[in-house]
Structure 1
């Protein structure tokens, strides 16, 4: 009977240690009590050196606090707890790893261990590396919010940002300005030299606007040749200067055409500022478009309204 028990035990141990994902046994007092599995070294560092050590001795303080809270919550409620966290191997004292030390994402399922074998209440902590999934989610989110050509915010996502910033400005009684830049010669370039040259023109304009606006606000590409940016905490007089500089930066760039000639991009722009607490983003949109419309037949290229 003893021999049969030992054989069963060795089989279970072999199977457990072969598991690619690690199971940590975590004590209520904040100690790593045991480590089972985690054999996939491409996804996990060897956690066995952590056995007997306190969370606060090996983890960043905030992470250790979070782990201890989850462990004690699972024990107290006798229920499954789930947690996602990001942790790099070099943030954990006492383990060695040959993997790149960028932060890895993990999903842990934490469940109380109904046994007194560890001489204190404990949980099993199944950690699963979900870094690939997180990167895919980030890519999907990026694609859903960004224009694929310019990397600026796409129309729908940008308009959502504008609504949020207008609400913030209204609640905090802070200034907010909006500017719209329409390129004048995009259609002529596309008709004469094709969409590839048109894309080049759009990229030049987008890069120029990003260089000027920087961290001052948010930029969106509304359509083929229309750009808009919203500037929180900026009054219209300063937004006008920023917009003029963006237009000058755009027009300073030379585009080499297929016939060996060069051309530059010209633009018209409207600028406005939030004036009343009752105003919303649509009121600002209407004013910047009205400002651009008012430039027709004049020599001006920028107008505040």
Structure 2
């Protein structure tokens, strides 16, 4: 009987130690009591040196507090707890870092341990590295919000940004301006030289606008050759200057169309601002388009309305 028990115990121990993901035994007093598994060194550093140490000794203060709270909640409730967290190897004292890049993402499943083997209430903490999944989620989210060519916000997402910024402006009684820039020569370039050269023109314009706007506001690509900028806490007169600078930066760029021909990009732009708390994004859209329409037959390139 004893021999059979030893054999079973040996099998269980071999299986547990071979687990690629680590299982920590976490004490109610905030101590790492044991570690099982965690053999996949491409994902996890060796955590055995943590045994016997307090969370507060090896983790950043806020993270240690969070870990202890989750462990105690699992022990007191008797129910499974789940937690996601980001932690870099370099932030954990007492282990040999596997990497020096940004923190890895982990999902932990924490469950009370029904045993007196550790002389205090404890919980098992199964940590699973989910960094690849997180990166994939970020990419999917980015694809849903950003234009794939320019990496500016796409139309649908940008509409939400404008509505959010309008709400903030109304609530805080702060100014907000909207600017729209239409490229003049995109269709001509595409018709004569193809979509690849048209994409180059769009990228050139987008890069120029980003270099001017920077962190002053948000930029969206509304259609193939139309860009819009929302500028929180900026009045129309200042938005006019920013927009003109963006247009000048666009026109200062030279595009090599073929071996013998180059061109510069030109644009027309309209600028408006929030004038009344009852105005919504559609009102501002109509006004900024009207400003651009008013440029027809004139030598002006930018107008406030």
- Range class of TM-score, shorter chain: over 0.9
**Unaligned residue ranges in structure 1 (runs of 5+):** none
Q: What's the offset of the Cα at 1:259? A: 4.8
Is it true that 1:59 corresponds to 2:63 in the alignment?
no
Within the alignment, does 1:232 sit opposite 2:226 as a pair? no
Deviation at 1:10, TM superposition (A): 1.3
- Structure 2: tracts of 5 or more residues without a match: none
Q: For residue 266 of structure 1, report the CA deviation from its aligned partner.
A: 0.7
Deviation at 1:49, TM superposition (A): 0.7
1:49-198 pair list within 5 angstroms: 49-198=49-198
Shift of 1:77: 1.1
Is the partner of 1:35 in helix, strand or coil? Answer: strand
What is the aligned-residue RMSD (CA, Å)?
A: 0.9
Q: Which residue of 1 aligns with 2:275?
A: 275
Match for residue 10 of structure 1? Answer: 10
**Residue deviations 1:64-107 (CA, integer Å, cap 9, x gap):** 01101111111111111100000011110001133344210000
Partners of 1:62 and 1:101 lie apart in 2 by 21
How far apart in 2 are the matches of 1:252 and 1:220?
A: 21
Matches within 5 A, 1:194-233: 194-233=194-233
* Separation (CA, whole Å) in 1 of partners of 2:241 and 2:86: 42
Conserved 8 A contact 1:84-1:107: yes
Separation in 1 of the partners of 2:101 and 2:154? 33
Q: For the residues of structure 2 that align with 1:204 and 1:115, how far apart are their CA atoms?
A: 65
The answer to whether the Cα contact below 8 Å between 1:42 and 1:99 also exists between their aligned partners in 2 is no
Q: Give the distance between the partners of 1:235 and 1:103, measured in 2 at CA.
A: 40
Distance 1:285 1:135, change over 3 A: same
SS in 1 for 2:65: helix
> Could you tell me the TM-score, scaled by structure 2's length?
0.98
SS in structure 2 at match of 1:215: coil
Check the 8 A contact 2:44/2:98 in 1, yes or no: no
Contact 1:176-1:234 within 8 A present in 2 as well:
yes
CA distance in 2, matches of 1:123, 1:146: 43
Provide the residue aligned with 1:245 in structure 2.
Answer: 245
Contact 2:84–2:107, Cα closer than 8 Å, also in 1: yes
CA offset digits 1:11-47 (Å, max 9, x no partner): 1111000000111110111000110110101111111
Q: What is the CA–CA distance in structure 2 between the aligned matches of 1:36 and 1:170, rounded to whole Å?
A: 56
Shift of 1:6: 1.7
Task: Name the CA distance, whole Å, in 2 between partners of 1:203 and 1:183.
Answer: 12
How many pairs were matched up?
305
